[in-house]
A and B are shown apart, each in its own frame.
Chain A
């Protein structure tokens, strides 16, 4: 049940694109297409923004996209906006759930 590895922080300017990586092992990301991403603003509950590697729930902006290659999943946010500033967590769902350590996105 080791946590997935994410960078502690990333930053970008409004309008730019950023990518957050999430690295696991053959037991989680490498062996599963059940990778999801969550956005969490300070003091709020997490919100699902990507499921099954690259799918967006209804109502989530198409500026958010996901992908996976081997043991690494990625979240890309295009056209950065101020309200995107938040913590982002990846997750892999096998028989249980494992989360990444989280990445703080700063919009400069």
Chain B
């Protein structure tokens, strides 16, 4: 069974930085494209970033472009999100999410890690 476990969330001041990690297990991580999706408190889901299986294709939401950097280490079965210049509106639970290889949808989600941006 696939498993995704996020870590690295916490409280950070506006303008600060944070690096999220996602440890993958139970599947061949290097064969899957991955995403970060976030959910502000009481709000809906917002797609944040996408990375191809070999890191050659990367996309960002306009709201984070230029501030966030997605990366992965297939040897360590890990996905990362480097978040810089954080703003109050970045406060959210951040989910690591795997794309299905059989169809166009996210088929596995982690439990999420909470990032709170506040002074």
Whether A102 contacts B105 by the Cβ 8 Å rule is no
- Whether, in the assembled complex, A69 has its beta carbon less than 8 Å from a beta carbon of chain B, the answer is no
Residues of A contacting B100 in the complex (Cβ-Cβ under 8 angstroms): 51
Residues of chain B in range 23-78 having any CB-CB distance to chain A below 8 Å: 35, 37, 44-47, 50, 59, 61-62
**Contacting B105 at CB < 8 Å: which of A1, A51, A87, A100?**
A51
Residues of B contacting A95 in the complex (Cβ-Cβ under 8 angstroms): 59
Q: Total interface residues on A, using CB and 8 Å?
A: 27
Whether A45 contacts B110 by the Cβ 8 Å rule is yes
Residues of chain A in range 8-27 having any CB-CB distance to chain B below 8 Å: none
Question: In the complex the two chains form, what is the Cα distance from A1 to B45 in whole Å?
Answer: 13
Q: Give chain A nearest CB distance to B20 CB in angstroms.
A: 15
Q: Encode contact with A along B85-119: 1 for CB under 8 Å, 0 otherwise.
A: 00000000001000010011111011110000000
What is the number of contacts between chain A and chain B, taking CB atoms within 8 Å?
A: 65
Residues of B contacting A57 in the complex (Cβ-Cβ under 8 angstroms): 107
Question: In the complex the two chains form, what is the Cα distance from A93 to B59 in whole Å?
Answer: 13
Q: Give chain A nearest CB distance to B47 CB in angstroms.
A: 4
**Contacting B104 at CB < 8 Å: which of A40, A46, A52, A87?**
A52
Whether B62 contacts A45 by the Cβ 8 Å rule is no
**Contacting B107 at CB < 8 Å: which of A1, A40, A48?**
A48
A97-B50 CB under 8 A given contacts A34-B104, A36-B106, A102-B44: yes
Measured CB to CB, the residues of A under 8 A from B are: 1, 3, 34, 36, 38, 40, 44-48, 51-52, 55, 57, 87, 89, 91, 93, 95-102
Measured CB to CB, the residues of B under 8 A from A are: 35, 37, 44-47, 50, 59, 61-62, 95, 100, 103-107, 109-112
- Provide 16 A-B residue pairs closer than 8 Å at the C-beta atoms, listed in order of the A residue: A1-B47, A38-B45, A47-B109, A51-B100, A51-B104, A51-B107, A55-B103, A87-B44, A91-B106, A93-B104, A95-B59, A96-B47, A96-B59, A97-B106, A99-B45, A101-B44
